[in-house]
Amino acid sequence: MKYMLDSKHAAAPLRRRTPKTVFIALATTVLAISAFAGPRILGDAGRASAPTGHAQESSVPPPVAASREYTQPEHPVAKTIATAAPAALNPHPPRVDDPAPGIDWQTHEVRRGDTLGRIFSEFSLGIGLASRIVEHETADVLKKLMPGHRMSLGFGPDGALVQLRYELDRTDEIVVRFEDSQLVAANRRRIPTGIRERTASQTIGSSLFRAASRAGLSDRLVMQLVSIFGWDIDFALDIRSGDRFSILYEERFRNGREVGSGDIIAAEFVNDGTVYRAVRHIDEDGHKAYFDLDGNNLRGTFLKTPMRVSRVTSGFSKRRYHPVLKKWRAHRGVDYGAPTGTPVLATGDGRIHSIGRNGGYGNTVVLKHGGQYSTLYAHLSGFKKGLGKGSKVKQGEVIGYVGATGLVTGPHLHYEFRVNGQHRNPLTYETPRAQPIAERYRDTFLAMARDRISQLSDTRPEQVASR
């Protein structure tokens, strides 16, 4: 026997949405913005580049493990940054102090009509050497150069040519090595994909996405930022003009060209004067999570809302006039108005305790989460196929669909959240956090986290001087 849409007894305002909800709302915004602004060039905003002091770049070690192989012919943007190891799975890659010991790289973009001989003469290199290269069985592709492709020439400390690299396509290159002006080897290989770290920082004026775009961030990175802090900040409702963010993130590149953004490594978000910080940790199994500087998990164990897009139509209250029973009674859950058939999501990992008809509740699912918590979803039109008593469900998984079964006046979801059997208001209850950083990683993480956050300090937008 329960509750229904009742506009008279409206509705605690929806204070937070789940990260998923925000995702959808923001995804829509992204589309709208992209459609409006057209394609934009990433990484072109001044603030996006790494300050030299803290800049760092890592590249996946190429097949040949000589230290020279870390060297990437770099275009100017890439130059601000240094090199290290496979950071994809290593949050703290070793640093290589001098990525290009003594090699000076000159990059030439092939123009229409260019030949190797012409390029060599521009660099005052012998034509004879150019013709020996194009006679080589692997390097003979250099006979016909493709306009727009890049050739990089590496010169040793004495000014002699030591290496030539030529991009065949987006993934492969020809590498030719020289000693004493003689060709010693030429081979074709995958262009090593590097990961470099960059920072970006911006104060939010009218919208997070506009600010992110000014900082040169991809939509993917913004989504990640939103999902990291989405447990603490409602990005749809809480963002204020003057809020700001700084992030340290990975960028994937080949030959100095960005080929996509990687993960956020560390981030700081100031929302309405409150500072939130997050640092990535990857454990030895490759599991990734974000923690604050005390090692607390940023992720909550329960979504605030059991639907992707929702509207609270009746809040949790001690006394509410029941529109069907015509009586005053407690409303020990929250009602979300939504059309019949709208997916209902499990708010936490758990097991199905009961599923089926349940009097005035109509079609109802009750989930148990660990020992203390349970959640209830009522008035459903139907259940997700394949679920039964005892089934395991994951947070965010669809368990059923909004309906109007039981004692109701219209379709909505009635949602209850109980702690040790006591009803709690899901809109205000401080849900517990996911596990903090594991003890065995703790010390290393805390030191690393401070270090990572300090890398952000140089890029924070300027503070107004204190008076």
CB neighbours of residue 23 within 10 Å: 17
Q: Which residues contact 22 (CB under 8 A, 6 or more apart)?
A: 226, 230, 234, 235, 236
Among 6, 219, 292, 335, binds Zn ion (CB under 5 A): 335
Q: Which residues contact 60 (CB under 8 A, 6 or more apart)?
A: 85, 86, 88, 192, 193, 194, 195
Stretch that binds Zn ion, among 65-73, 185-193, 206-214, 327-335 (CB under 5 A): 327-335
Stretch that binds Zn ion, among 2-10, 11-19, 36-44, 392-400 (CB under 5 A): 2-10
Q: Does 3 bind Zn ion (CB under 5 A)?
A: yes
Residue type, 73: P
The gap from C-alpha 305 to its chain's centroid, in whole angstroms, comes to: 22
The minimum distance between CB 332 and Zn ion, in angstroms, equals 8
* Distance from C-alpha of 226 to C-alpha of 271, rounded to nearest angstrom: 12
Q: Does 383 bind Zn ion (CB under 5 A)?
A: no
Stretch that binds Zn ion, among 106-114, 186-194, 409-417, 434-442 (CB under 5 A): 409-417
The minimum distance between CB 39 and Zn ion, in angstroms, equals 46
Q: Which residue is nearest to Zn ion (CB)?
A: 3
Token representation of residue 371: 């020992």
Q: Does 415 bind Zn ion (CB under 5 A)?
A: no
Burial 415-433 (b: 16+ CB within 10 A, else e): bbbbeeeebbebbeeebbe
Q: Does 6 bind Zn ion (CB under 5 A)?
A: no
CB neighbours of residue 122 within 10 Å: 11
The minimum distance between CB 334 and Zn ion, in angstroms, equals 7
Total binding residues toward Zn ion, as defined by CB under 5 A: 4
The minimum distance between CB 18 and Zn ion, in angstroms, equals 19
The minimum distance between CB 336 and Zn ion, in angstroms, equals 9
Q: What is the CA radius of gyration of the chain?
A: 29
Using the minimum distance from each CB to Zn ion, give the nearer residue, 254 or 414: 414
The minimum distance between CB 330 and Zn ion, in angstroms, equals 10
For the chain, the farthest-separated pair of C-alpha atoms sits apart, in whole angstroms, at 99
The minimum distance between CB 7 and Zn ion, in angstroms, equals 13
Among 280, 304, 320, 414, binds Zn ion (CB under 5 A): 414
Closest-CA residue to 1 (of 416, 411, 378): 378
Across 139-220, the runs of DSSP E, i.e. the strands, are 150-155, 161-167, 172-179, 182-190, 193-203
The minimum distance between CB 350 and Zn ion, in angstroms, equals 21
Q: Does 316 bind Zn ion (CB under 5 A)?
A: no
SS3 377: strand
Using the minimum distance from each CB to Zn ion, give the nearer residue, 333 or 400: 333
Binding site residues, Zn ion, CB under 5 A: 3, 333, 335, 414
